Amino acid sequence: MTQTANHTPATETLPEELIRSIESWERPVIIAHVPPDADALGAMFAVARGFGSTGATASVALPEASLSQRLAFLHEWAEPRIAGVEEFAQADGFVVVDTAKKPRCNLPGGLPEEWNAGRRIVNIDHHASNTRFGDINWVVGDASSSCELVFHLLEVWARPVDELSASLLYAGIHTDTAGFSLPNTSGSALAAAAQLVERGARVTELGERLCRSQRLSEFRLLRIIYANTRLTPDERIAYSTADYREITDAGCAAADIDDQVSIPRSLLGTRLALLLTEGVRGKTRINFRGDAGVSVLALAKSFGGGGHDAAAGAILEGPIPEVLAQVLPQAERYLDDLG
Ligand SMILES: [Mn+2]
């Protein structure tokens, strides 16, 4: 692969085998994680559009209930072909983006357990905890987002990045860096974003849609999360909760739980923020966020979860009070050990 000034070091790690493999696919299915965020959706749709420009018939795995109200516009923009059981049966290969482990794949119902049945999986991701479950893995732990990686992929693959693909990819970089405010806002992330803007990414509309387009239902949920926010006595940990009743009474569903952990996280002096939500009755999802250099990945892993250093998650069986009673003391000990 030739190296040009536009390529970040991430491109140098792109396995040559990856493009050789996907080039021959005519009916690929593109998959991301559950619940899909803007990075997952943007990367998935942009990869599908890359295949579309070669004449291949790509479809995306996106069960309807898994799409949040806030991000439904990305789906409306991209108008992807949705993969059902039939598309999975006929697929000649799979691209999984932004997904740290295979069981996190957001799949339609009715698939056999071994859904890839010997067909190749290409795994493109920026989660440090990625288990390399693909047959070809391109995992760049210090990339800002999967969308940044997909942008480089499309460039090396010589697929057009039109105004719509640029917008989808920009959405992922914008969201995964929390509006270019997190430590993963690297030079390469900003350079990719700049190139996407030059290609016509809809910056103003995306800013409005992603940052200033709360539905009343989402607003009600935020009010609950503000009201439920607590601090530990030493104020190092801020946490909040929303149980099943609170989420549904607000008019929201499991798919609408996204980055609301930013509320407890926004308190001055917080080193570790937690959000515990019961989007699915009887299961507690925890979002972990670390600030001031606190990595939360090992903590999330101790509960069977995964993610990044600064942002990780886990899902535990049981109602919120039970899980909180277990997680909070462990999180305090974890901070004590970090010193
Ligand atoms: Mn991501």
Residues 207 and 66 reside in one and the same domain: yes
CATH no. for residue 202?
Answer: 3.90.1640.10
331 shares its domain with 289: yes
Number of domains in the chain: 2
How many residues belong to the chain?
Answer: 339
User: Is residue 3 one of the residues assigned to a domain?
Assistant: no
* Half-sphere exposure at residue 142, Cβ-oriented, CA atoms within 13 angstroms: 8
Q: What number is the average pLDDT over the span 180-190?
A: 94
Domain assignment present for residue 309? The answer is yes
Could you report the per-residue pLDDT of 56-114, keeping only the tens digit for each?
A: 999 999 998 899 988 999 999 999 999 999 999 999 999 999 999 999 999 999 999 99
Whether residue 334 is found in the same domain as residue 226: yes
Residue 265: CATH number of its domain: 3.10.310.30
Count Cβ atoms within 10 A of the Cβ of residue 337 and give its class: 0-12 exposed, 13-18 middle, 19 or more buried. exposed
CA–centroid distance, residue 81 to ligand 1 (Å)? 22
Same domain for 38 and 169, yes or no, is yes
**132 domain-assigned:** yes
User: Is 275 found in the same domain as 227?
Assistant: yes
Structure tokens at 23: 């080039």
pLDDT in tens, 243-262: 999 999 999 999 999 889 99
Identify whether 2 is part of a domain: no
Looking at 177, 211, 245, the residue that finishes a domain is: 211
Q: State in Å: Cα 323 to ligand 1 middle.
A: 26
Q: Ligand 1 centroid to 233 CA: how many Å? A: 33
Does position 3 have pLDDT exceeding 80, yes or no? no
What span, in angstroms and rounded, lies between the C-alpha atoms of 198 and 161? Answer: 11
Q: What percent of the chain has pLDDT over 70?
A: 97
**Is position 1 within any domain?**
no
Q: Which residue range forms the structural domain that includes residue 303?
A: 216-338
Q: Does the residue 60 lie in any domain?
A: yes
Q: Are 93 and 21 in contact (CB under 8 A)?
A: yes
Distance 109 CA to ligand 1 centre (A): 24
Q: How far does residue 53's CA lie from ligand 1's centre (Å)?
A: 24
Picking from 211, 231, 248, the residue at the C-terminal end of a domain is 211
pLDDT score of 9: 66
Asked if the structure places residue 94 within a domain, the reply is: yes
CB-proximal residues (5 Å) to ion ligand 1:
39, 98, 145-146, 176
How far is Cα 309 from Cα 306, in angstroms, rounded to an integer?
Answer: 9
28 occurs within a structural domain? yes
Confidence of residue 221 (pLDDT cuts 50, 70, 90): very high
Q: Which of 169, 185, 211 is the last residue of a domain?
A: 211
